[in-house]
Structure 1
Amino acid sequence: MDISSAGLRVLRQIAESGSFTAAAVRLGYTQSAVSRQAAALERSAGAALFERRPDGVRLTPAGLTLLRHARAILDSLAAAERDLTGAVPRSEPVRLGAFLSAGAALVPDALVRLAAAEPQITVTTSEGTTPSLIRALRAGSIDLAVLTSRPPHRPSDGESPRLHIETLMDTELAVAAPSTGDFAGRSTVHIDELADAAWIATPSSRSEPLLGVWPGLPGRPRVAHSARDWLTKLQLVARGFGVTSVPTRLAPVLPPGVSLLHVEGAPPEARRVLVARLPGCPTPAVAAVTRALAASA
């Protein structure tokens, strides 16, 4: 089997991105170049490596097998480059991915704890949705991921081998509303009052649901503003342009002018915060980051 390191990097990026188009953008290639690399990989492997689906591209069992070896090969090549150049690592690196609100409320505190206890560990962070972070874990682009799930808390994906997952905390959703106007001085809101509200929500896709609108809201929600950035969403709320659903763990970082309202007349919306990694024994650095996240949670 004759496979280049470039082909293995394309395989890893397709697994992480979930599409040929996104992989091409991240690698700086044209989409046709990525498609040619994918076809060459399949010819060399003698098996179908990619499954084209309505929600994107997923690796077949053969593709996942090759990906597992690709991670080891690419890591070895990176280590060889360091040895040849005489670069001596001065720290223990850990690549941490986290879903959007965890980056505001959980990760910074964990990094402070880690810096005090394990100063030799260097953490780089990236944000993403839970589906995209799982793909990045599978692809070997990150070492650890903070994920979120909703009941009944099924396994994060159906791939094998199963990810190693630990629960950090359980939390509930609430509604972030302007502190002035209709919601001034209140700590609760009835679900019926939210039916006609202007919502500030994160854009959705086939695999990633609309975030920011209260789940199970009666009728079709009126989304007035669409934004992924939490600071943008909460500043729009503070200035009276709408409401958005938030995990209660964000309460300490809410900006002035925003109140947290608990929703009545509807079942509580529980969310679980998880930390995930690939199966097997973690490195001491990954284990230390996991402990810091658990302590912060």
Structure 2
Amino acid sequence: MLCRIAECGSFTAAAAQLGYTQSAVSRQAAALERDAGATLFERRTDGVRLTRRGLTLLRHARAILASVDAAAGDLAGEAPRTEQVRLGSVPSAGPVLLPAALVRLAATAPQVLVTTREGTTPGLVRALRSGSLDLALLTSRPPHRAPDGESPRLHLTTVQDVGLVVAAAATGGFAGRTSVHVDELVDVPWIATPASNTEPQLGVWPGLPGRPRVVHSARDWLTKLHLVARGLGVTTMPEGLLPVVPPGVLALRVEGAPPEIRRIFVARLPGAAAPAIAAVTQAITATG
């Protein structure tokens, strides 16, 4: 339960994954704090975070679970496994960077087995902190601050900086163009990823005056870009996605506004990296 709360960031989300009621998880959390004789959870308006003592207990809990798994394997007579690395990725890094890195890794370190999962930056950071991920491919906006305010800070390795562009239909009002002035984007229909308490709205050019006219809401890049191709709106995308853009989509540079740069980086817990984790990081940075 402690591990699931740390990863989900709220009692409600943890309860949904565990199949319990929110009140049952809250009671178990309170009982765990009584047994530990310490405050393990910081209850905030945007969810729950582990305190320093909670993180200490989590580290020991992860070690115990790993030992139990290893013991089960020994008792079953399993052969030594390959070195496994659990890698998380934001959606924008998945279509191009992630497959290329995994192909490179297969050639340079075939003994390393990578499992992947997709998520938002806050969710992946919580998964790193809770120990359910070893590495995460994340993005940030200038001034590229740390992805969370927890201590100790995560270890970050920059992969690449990519510019943001606007994706528009090749047969629409922007046909034949390679750029657009920011003033032309004020009244256009947008296709955007919905905002949440922890995530800003994605898909609308930052800093537009007024309230953008969002006509379609989607998280999946393929959905957004195919809606664009059919002339149903425009969206923003990092230039790194250009190799997988479907036919009928233009990539437009935005003039009259400061460039929007997104940084892709690999994050992990601080300290010396295990050889398998270092090999995955190297494959990703070499690809970028």
TM class by shorter-chain length?
over 0.9
Aligned to 1:4: none
Report the alpha carbon displacement of residue 225 of structure 1 after superposing the two structures with TM: 0.7
Aligned length: 288
- 5+ residue gaps, structure 2, are none
Distance 1:12 1:99 in 2: 21
Distance 1:149 1:88 in 2: 41
Aligned to 1:163: 154
Q: For residue 175 of structure 1, what is the amino acid of its counterpart?
A: V
Q: Residue 124 of structure 1: which of 101, 111, 115 is its match?
A: 115
Q: For residue 41 of structure 1, what is the amino acid of its counterpart?
A: L
Distance 1:127 1:281 in 2: 25
Aligned to 1:257: 248
SS of 2:143 mapped into structure 1: coil
Q: For residue 87 of structure 1, what is the amino acid of its counterpart?
A: E
Q: Residue 61 of structure 1: which of 35, 52, 66 is its match?
A: 52
Matched, 1:43 2:34: yes
Aligned to 2:222: 231
Report the alpha carbon displacement of residue 36 of structure 1 after superposing the two structures with TM: 2.4
Matched, 1:101 2:77: no
Matched, 1:293 2:284: yes
SS of 2:42 mapped into structure 1: strand
Q: State the TM-score, normalizing by the size of structure 2.
A: 0.97
Distance 2:134 2:85 in 1: 6
What root-mean-square deviation, in Å, do the aligned CA atoms of Structure 1 and Structure 2 show?
1.2
SS of 1:183 mapped into structure 2: coil
Report the alpha carbon displacement of residue 260 of structure 1 after superposing the two structures with TM: 0.3
Report the alpha carbon displacement of residue 60 of structure 1 after superposing the two structures with TM: 1.7
Aligned to 1:32: 23
Moved over 4 A (4+): none
Report the alpha carbon displacement of residue 33 of structure 1 after superposing the two structures with TM: 2.9
Q: Deviations over 1:9-44 (max 9, x none)?
A: x11111111111111222233323322221111111
Q: For residue 281 of structure 1, what is the amino acid of its counterpart?
A: A
Matched, 1:247 2:232: no
Distance 2:231 2:83 in 1: 45
Distance 1:215 1:196 in 2: 14
Report the alpha carbon displacement of residue 193 of structure 1 after superposing the two structures with TM: 0.6
Q: For residue 103 of structure 1, what is the amino acid of its counterpart?
A: G
Report the alpha carbon displacement of residue 125 of structure 1 after superposing the two structures with TM: 0.5
Report the alpha carbon displacement of residue 222 of structure 1 after superposing the two structures with TM: 0.8
Distance 1:73 1:278 in 2: 19
Query: After superposition, where does 1:174-193 map in structure 2 within 5 Å?
Result: 174-193=165-184
Report the alpha carbon displacement of residue 83 of structure 1 after superposing the two structures with TM: 1.6
Aligned to 2:187: 196
Matched, 1:148 2:139: yes
Aligned to 1:277: 268
SS of 1:77 mapped into structure 2: helix
Report the alpha carbon displacement of residue 214 of structure 1 after superposing the two structures with TM: 0.7
SS of 1:182 mapped into structure 2: coil
Task: Give me the identity figure in percent.
Answer: 71
Q: State the TM-score, normalizing by the size of structure 1.
A: 0.94
Distance 1:140 1:89 in 2: 22
